[in-house]
Chain A
Amino acid sequence: MASSASRVLRSLAKELGRVYRKEKLQDVPAYAYLHEQMKNFEVTDEKICRAHNEVQHVAETYLCYLESLRKQEELSQQYKGRGERSVESSAEIVGLKLPKLFSEDAPADKPDP
């Protein structure tokens, strides 16, 4: 039990470390709270009358939340659309070219002799 609790705490520390990249983990309030809860749970599990693995279950749930958020974000970054193609590139796919547009700056074609 203790080993799986510390495993969850370690994974949570890793996930929170990805969120708070600059701060020291010990200074992050969320981590401090978590650490305290897990420690309390270890020492006085029976005394404070919590359900046997309540803290563990909540910690695992939170870990699942952070992990899934990150993985989902990674996947959507990987597969997100880059918007629509331009008219030129769509024409190119089927081997066509757009006609050149008239502009005044471009040198006018020489009239046939």
Chain B
Amino acid sequence: MAAPLVSQKFLTSCLKSKNISHVFECVKSVRNLHNPRDNLKKFYRQATIATSDGWYEINLDKRKLRTPHGNIFRVPSEPLALAVATEWNSQDKVINRHNMHLTSLCNTALENPFHRTREQLTETIIHFLETDTICYRLTEPPELEKMEREQWDPILQWAADRYGLEITPTCSIAPPIVSDESKEIIRRHLLSYSDWALFGYHFAVDSIKSLLIIMALVDKHIGVETAVDLARLEQYFQTSRWGSVEWHHDVELYELRCRLSAAALFIHWCSESSTIKQKAALAPV
């Protein structure tokens, strides 16, 4: 436990220093000294939100929260800021950074560490369609085959009804057949989202390796629990037969639920436009 203590002392002394460049140097060296997996001790009492220029910022006590590169952390939507603040408030004694999915999603969207353009991001997401979890079927054991048919087919059917996607699942090693029109439909659909929402999309799809399930989740056709269950169908089948190991299977289940719910909320809040309309009769004088 010695390492976080040192870094906290170090940080407080850095923050007391008036010289900005010195602070940056200190923060940089702190970053280099410690493995990111080392947890920082909680150095603030309360996280609150504040608005500036139409953006929402997070204040940790009196200080502004910053991104890993030292820019000011800001998000475009109020509920997202509130959820991020709640995330920081829920830390107890040490800051558990790898469990703050909303904060890290915002950081990724703010800084774009891999310098991805919208088009690149969209292509990466569409790429998952070619290896979509629900398009690879097993033919045996027959019980599993039946489960896959019963639970995955409705999602394919939904995608066909809602977006007109034509995808034929595969039972062999050959990839499923996806028509070019379907890819074009998805590309257009994805490009209608904001940049921020696309980062959320990518994070979600990458977690469960299925674009179709995520589309159903983002469209609010299914809930998070269902989405995770669908993605883990084979594992569910095997654990129900051979037994579930709490420290592996359950941890993984909750981890996936965390990731998917964080991504779904992130997408929702980043693409929601204000929906409250004033009555036309009450025009300002």
- The prevalent SS among residues of A at the interface is helix
Is residue B188 contacting chain A, with contact meaning CB distance below 8 A? no
- Taken together as a complex, chains A and B put the C-alpha atoms of A49 and B96 apart, in Å, by 39
Among B39-90, those with CB < 8 Å from A are 48-49, 78-79, 82-83, 85-86, 89-90
Please state if A30 and B85 are interface contacts (CB–CB under 8 Å): yes
A: interface residue count bin? 20 to 34
* Cross-chain contact of A61 among B254, B264, B276 (Cβ < 8 A): B264
B217 to chain A: closest residue by CB:
A61
CB B132 to nearest CB in A, in angstroms, measures 22
A71 to chain B: closest residue by CB:
B254
Is residue A75 contacting chain B, with contact meaning CB distance below 8 A? yes
Is residue B261 contacting chain A, with contact meaning CB distance below 8 A? yes
Is residue A39 contacting chain B, with contact meaning CB distance below 8 A? no
Please state if A62 and B83 are interface contacts (CB–CB under 8 Å): yes
CB A6 to nearest CB in B, in angstroms, measures 18
Q: Which residues of A contact B265 (CB under 8 A)?
A: 58, 61-62, 65
Is residue B181 contacting chain A, with contact meaning CB distance below 8 A? no
Interface hit among B2-10, B30-38, B118-126, B245-253 = B245-253
CB B93 to nearest CB in A, in angstroms, measures 12
Q: Which residues of B contact A53 (CB under 8 A)?
A: 220
Is residue B277 contacting chain A, with contact meaning CB distance below 8 A? yes
Is residue B255 contacting chain A, with contact meaning CB distance below 8 A? yes
- The prevalent SS among residues of B at the interface is helix
A49 to chain B: closest residue by CB:
B275
- Taken together as a complex, chains A and B put the C-alpha atoms of A73 and B78 apart, in Å, by 26
- Taken together as a complex, chains A and B put the C-alpha atoms of A20 and B89 apart, in Å, by 7
Is residue B268 contacting chain A, with contact meaning CB distance below 8 A? yes
Please state if A69 and B246 are interface contacts (CB–CB under 8 Å): no
- Taken together as a complex, chains A and B put the C-alpha atoms of A72 and B99 apart, in Å, by 9
* Cross-chain contact of B82 among A29, A54, A64 (Cβ < 8 A): A29
The answer to whether A73 and B99 touch (CB under 8 A), given A30-B86, A68-B258, is: yes
- Taken together as a complex, chains A and B put the C-alpha atoms of A60 and B224 apart, in Å, by 8
Q: Scoring B residues 145 to 156 as 1 if CB is less than 8 Å from chain A, else 0, what string do you get?
A: 000000000000
B96 to chain A: closest residue by CB:
A73
Please state if B257 and A64 are interface contacts (CB–CB under 8 Å): yes
Is residue B106 contacting chain A, with contact meaning CB distance below 8 A? no
Please state if B86 and A75 are interface contacts (CB–CB under 8 Å): no
Please state if A62 and B261 are interface contacts (CB–CB under 8 Å): yes
Please state if A64 and B78 are interface contacts (CB–CB under 8 Å): no
Among B215-265, those with CB < 8 Å from A are 220, 223-225, 246-247, 250-251, 254-255, 257-258, 261-262, 264-265
For the complex with contacts A48-B275, A69-B90, A72-B258, 15 further pairs of A-B residues with Cβ separation under 8 Å are A19-B86, A33-B82, A51-B220, A58-B265, A60-B223, A64-B225, A64-B257, A65-B101, A65-B224, A65-B257, A65-B265, A68-B257, A69-B258, A72-B99, A73-B99
Residues on A facing B (Cβ under 8 Å): 16, 19-20, 29-30, 33, 37, 48-51, 53-54, 57-58, 60-62, 64-65, 68-69, 71-73, 75-76, 78-79
Residues on B facing A (Cβ under 8 Å): 48-49, 78-79, 82-83, 85-86, 89-90, 96, 99, 101, 220, 223-225, 246-247, 250-251, 254-255, 257-258, 261-262, 264-265, 268, 275-277
The list of the 8 closest CB pairs from A to B, nearest first, reads: A72-B254, A65-B261, A68-B257, A79-B247, A19-B90, A30-B82, A68-B254, A57-B220
Give 19 CB contacts A-B under 8 Å.
Answer: A29-B48, A33-B79, A50-B275, A60-B224, A61-B223, A64-B223, A64-B261, A65-B257, A65-B265, A68-B258, A68-B261, A69-B99, A69-B254, A72-B255, A72-B258, A75-B246, A75-B247, A75-B250, A78-B247
